[in-house]
Chain A
Amino acid sequence: MASRNLKKQSLIQLILAVLILVFVNIVAGSLFTRFDFTAEKRYSLSTSSKEIAGNLKDVILFKIYLDGDLPPGFKRLRNSTRELLDEYRVYSGDNIQYEFIDPSANPDEKEKINLYKQLSEKGLSPTNLEEREKSGRSQKLVFQERLLPINRVQLLYNYLKVKLVQNLK
């Protein structure tokens, strides 16, 4: 009899503790602060940006055509873009979503060219990235544009200047 009581007691303790943990996490979810330790406050958004992100009524999907086998400089660009979007997502309550797309990932040549065509019809022209490597030279098509469909409205934004490509060489 005593052992059954003990079993009950430890079970109740465990369930109570789990409930408390869940409750604490829910409370923490609404009351939170972020401390940006980086020297330049790289991952902090301005108050107005936070407000804009917080007041979003609908989901915004960012499609970023920058992925795949990239040189280190572009990988860094991709990562920091992702980090910035993550920051926005935190304050938008998940109203900001993003996906990174590798335009040249499709193994089917026809479909790949189709995608290129679609993108350039929308006004996204590829940047031909030439890079010197140890093994010689390689050429890559890089689409550095983002599509921002808002309420079925798509905004295009090219955020790579050709000059930057030249500098990266």
Chain B
Amino acid sequence: MFALLRKEIDSFLNSLIGYVVILVFLLSIGLFLWIFPGTEFNLLENGYANLDSLFILSPWMFLFLIPAITMRMFAEENKSGTIELLLTRPLSDLQIVLAKYGAAVILVLFSIVPTFVYYISVYKFASPSGNIDTAGISGSYIGLIFLCSGFASIGIFTSSLTNNQIIAFILSVLLCFFFYSGFDFISSMMSTGPVGILLSQFGMSNHYASLSRGVIDTRDLVYFLSLSSFFILLSKFNLEKRKW
């Protein structure tokens, strides 16, 4: 299982797409946080020593970038037929899915880690230097990682549906968007009754809202873990279809 996980990470980092994804993420986040004037995300203009903008923007970036990471994981294997080789290995279907999922989450961590530079910059810029809420920001990072693992599980699932990477990518952007804010739209279209509230509970943004501020609620963690397991199980179900 770990061999497969390593293989996935290696093949990602040996291809151009890995670096493009990480570069695009850091470039766009960096531009929004430090360069573009007149937006509410610009840290220097706002003049507050926090990283709130990072945690507001990142989900929208990852909405496109995580599907780009996960799109080839099953789709390419389905297309080239190497999925047959993989399935004859002494690994259970669940282990294969988990290895790919783990690889996706680790790759996302690779792109999150360089943002610590922003933390260090804000830490130095703060007046007096170091006047920044480190604990709160670390809580927000935990929230972001949970959100990303949710996106990754959706990406793995859509990749297992098809043998075309582009279809996998588009489907998973759509599904990620639907789970991130689609439920909010539906609930706001409906009345503010209990049904609307229940529906908004299914959405990720509802659960990410407090996590991104550094408030870790056990319910939100359980939600993200269940969401990931749900899509991992769906992918496993998809793999099992071949036996029928």
Contact = CB atoms under 8 A, between A and B. Distances in A.
Interface residues of A, number: 36
Interface stretch (A35-43, A50-58, A112-120, A152-160): A35-43
Interface stretch (B23-31, B82-90, B129-137, B168-176): B129-137
B226 A83 contact: no
B48 to A, nearest CB: 7
Nearest to B198: A94
> For chain A, what secondary structure do more than half of its interface residues adopt (helix, strand, loop), or is it mixed?
helix
A37 B139 contact: yes
B218 A38 contact: no
Contact of B244 (A7, A13, A38, A86): A7
B161 interface: no
B110 interface: no
Given A7-B244, A10-B240, A72 B210 contact: no
Contact of A3 (B226, B234, B237, B243): B243
Contact of B136 (A6, A39, A72, A83): A39
A13 B240 CA distance: 11
Given A37-B136, A37-B214, A39-B135, A14 B237 contact: yes
Interface in B181-208: 192, 194, 197
A6 B229 CA distance: 21
Contact of A35 (B192, B216, B237): B216
A97 interface: yes
Interface stretch (A17-25, A124-132, A140-148): A17-25
A36 B215 contact: yes
Given A43-B213, A94-B197, A38 B139 contact: yes
Given A17-B229, A24-B222, A10 B237 contact: yes
Given A21-B226, A21-B229, A25-B222, A38 B214 contact: yes
A28 B219 contact: yes
Interface residues of B, number: 35
B167 interface: no
A36 B233 contact: no
B219 A37 contact: no
Nearest to B197: A94
A32 B218 contact: yes
A43 B210 contact: yes
Contact of B133 (A13, A21, A38, A86): A38
Nearest to A39: B133
A33 interface: yes
B223 interface: yes
Given A17-B233, A21-B229, A38-B135, A29 B243 contact: no
Contacts of A21: 226, 229-230
A3 B244 contact: yes
A38 B214 CA distance: 6
B123 to A, nearest CB: 13
A147 to B, nearest CB: 17
23 contacts: A6-B243, A10-B240, A13-B237, A17-B233, A21-B229, A21-B230, A24-B226, A25-B222, A28-B218, A33-B217, A33-B218, A37-B139, A37-B140, A37-B214, A39-B135, A43-B210, A43-B214, A72-B40, A72-B45, A76-B46, A76-B48, A90-B217, A97-B192
Interface of B: 40, 45-48, 133-136, 138-140, 192, 194, 197, 209-210, 213-219, 222-223, 226, 229-230, 233-234, 237, 240, 243-244
